[in-house]
Structure 1
């Protein structure tokens, strides 16, 4: 019979602490009467870690592709249990106390996360920057971007069902694998629970594999790239709204604040803000289509509705109207220039026509190009 629980430990030269972790997990199985197995996902150890694991009668899965994520994907894929617990083999997590996780999994939760800030972090177990800057900031960004309630995004001890792991379709190969698991589970509306867990000092004498700045950046980069709404839409909407309002006011008349007058020269910059913001919004739309159609982000009801609302024909019409409006404004400015016999234009009212004319024509071209590319990306449908 297949075991109920598989404990997967990624391993890269963990000879000092591997046996302790394995024995704690095996002791847990025996004490709690759990049908379980330990799987060591070895990522190329050269210190005899494989022999230590084999002598303790556990399965060793050799994963040749380097990386924390690669090792875990290899080990979890090979696991035979209905549920999987993953944790580092450095003796910082207590594999003898996995019952709170297993109970939640038995209740039907897809993913059960540990929270070290609720369970307790022993002195020297977590570097100062990780404890007070890295983990809190990245966890806050994760909660904000993906509407998750998880308080500790990077706790290494976590449990999940094998079925949930398959549905997550995890792809990252490095340390950001930990963030991807929560992000995918949140986006796919899986049931997620959190239990307090303790973190002890690393039992190894050598430095950890984790690199503070490199791996912190990889986590942040993943969170941002997987949230096109925060990366493109919100900044773009703010720029577009600011540019639209200020441009409309400056087209109507100059604005004087104290002794400073904002006129057509400022209008140039506000129009640029409008164009850049609009470009961000369009890029959000294109990124959303690409990520959904290629299976990187889940499809929503709103996504299907946007294809009914936005199509090539509507885009071509709106773009053409904007271009025509720009041409009309340009013609009006040309008539004024003709009235002064094509001489030097000193009246700023002409620029109040020229700048909106150029802006609307550029907006029209952007809309047409967006509509064409949007339709190309949606050809799979």
Structure 2
């Protein structure tokens, strides 16, 4: 008979709890009359975990590359089931109560996430920082950045179809694997849902492999890097627009707010805001092309329109125009300087020509260089 469900457990020295987890999973198969298998993705155990698994008729897959994500990818790819449910082998999740996951998978959902905050977190099952800071904050960022409705991004018990797993095209090897699965599923418009899950204290006497700050940072870094809109585009647009508006006012004279006067020296800073914001926007474009062309992010219709809107020829023309305008303003400032026999410039009107001249020339050069590099990145397309 074809295997319907594979339960995959990553394992690194889990001898204390592995047998309990395997027995629960196998009793679940028997009780619910499910044709299933237990896969132990061993990541280099030295405590006899492999023998425990084989004695209990579980399949052991040796994964030499270290890391939580590496172990799971090795186990999932070796699984024969139509559906896969993954969970830690520390007895913190109840493998005898997986029917809510199976029901949702049979209904056609691509990814079924557990939610420990709705299901219940038993006393001592989750550290204070993880419960009230780490998980809620990272889950909120994930929902905000990727328009996901998942309430618990880091629940270790989750199910998915094998077909959906290959659509996700997962790349990471560490703890951020958990976030990548939800992010990729959201970006690829896979069908996602949640079920309530109870988290119990793990049954091990040793500390967990999870490192609060290191692994928390890896999750946060992953979420930010996979959302160039929030990292580059939105901050860049805000800074660029603010710089343009404030510079426009200061070009015509000093602006007073109460007893504070903003003049030509402030114009230097606002012009800097324009340049910095524009650099952020350009970097967003380069990051978007790089991540899509290297299959880190899925290609969208907007991406194809981007290449129609921006190309090398248009970029060179726009950049050249900006540089020429900057040169014309520079000549205007030069003639003002010549009118005072190249002496000390005390008239701020000259600086109001010099500053935008330099700003426009720098913007023009940035556009030209961006267009060249943008075209190089998109050569494959």
Q: TM-score range with shorter-chain normalisation?
A: over 0.9
d(CA) in 2 for partners of 1:371 and 1:305? 15
Q: Secondary structure at the match of 1:144?
A: helix
Q: Secondary structure at the match of 2:379?
A: helix
Name the structure 2 match of 1:271: 271
Q: Secondary structure at the match of 1:252?
A: coil
Q: How is 1:160-175 mapped onto 2 (pairs within 5 angstroms)?
A: 160-175=160-175
TM-score normalised to structure 2 length: 0.99
Cα distance, 1:167 vs structure 2: 1.1
Name the structure 2 match of 1:99: 99
Name the structure 2 match of 1:211: 211
When structure 1 is superposed on structure 2, of 137-146 and 255-264 the one drifting more is 255-264
Q: How is 1:172-183 mapped onto 2 (pairs within 5 angstroms)?
A: 172-183=172-183
Cα distance, 1:315 vs structure 2: 0.6
- Whether 1:377 and 2:377 are equivalent positions in the alignment is yes
Q: Secondary structure at the match of 1:209?
A: coil
Structure 2 unmatched ranges of 5 or more: none
d(CA) in 2 for partners of 1:44 and 1:296? 28
Cα distance, 1:260 vs structure 2: 1.3
1:227-278: CA deviation from partner (whole Å, max 9, x where unpaired): 1111110111111011111111111111111211111111101101110000
d(CA) in 2 for partners of 1:295 and 1:206? 39
1:155-204: CA deviation from partner (whole Å, max 9, x where unpaired): 00000000111111111110000000001101110000111100000110
Q: Secondary structure at the match of 1:362?
A: helix
Name the structure 1 match of 2:309: 309
d(CA) in 1 for partners of 2:301 and 2:61? 41
Name the structure 2 match of 1:16: 16
d(CA) in 1 for partners of 2:63 and 2:348? 69
d(CA) in 2 for partners of 1:241 and 1:198? 48
Q: Secondary structure at the match of 1:292?
A: helix
TM-score normalised to structure 1 length: 0.99
Matched pairs, number: 381
d(CA) in 2 for partners of 1:97 and 1:273? 56
Cα distance, 1:110 vs structure 2: 0.5
Name the structure 2 match of 1:232: 232
Over the aligned positions, Cα root-mean-square deviation in angstroms equals 0.6
- Whether 1:87 and 2:84 are equivalent positions in the alignment is no
Name the structure 1 match of 2:284: 284
d(CA) in 2 for partners of 1:311 and 1:340? 44
- Whether 1:299 and 2:299 are equivalent positions in the alignment is yes
- Kindly report structure 1 stretches of 4+ aligned residues shifted beyond 6 Å: none
Q: Secondary structure at the match of 1:336?
A: helix
d(CA) in 2 for partners of 1:233 and 1:135? 26
1:329-366: CA deviation from partner (whole Å, max 9, x where unpaired): 11111111111111110011110000000000000000
d(CA) in 1 for partners of 2:254 and 2:88? 64
1:89-118: CA deviation from partner (whole Å, max 9, x where unpaired): 000001011000001100111000000000
Structure 1 unmatched ranges of 5 or more: none
1:209-235: CA deviation from partner (whole Å, max 9, x where unpaired): 000000000000000111111111011
d(CA) in 2 for partners of 1:254 and 1:180? 51
Cα distance, 1:2 vs structure 2: 2.8
d(CA) in 1 for partners of 2:252 and 2:116? 58
d(CA) in 2 for partners of 1:293 and 1:174? 23
Name the structure 1 match of 2:196: 196
d(CA) in 1 for partners of 2:230 and 2:63? 35
d(CA) in 2 for partners of 1:216 and 1:30? 38
- Whether 1:257 and 2:257 are equivalent positions in the alignment is yes
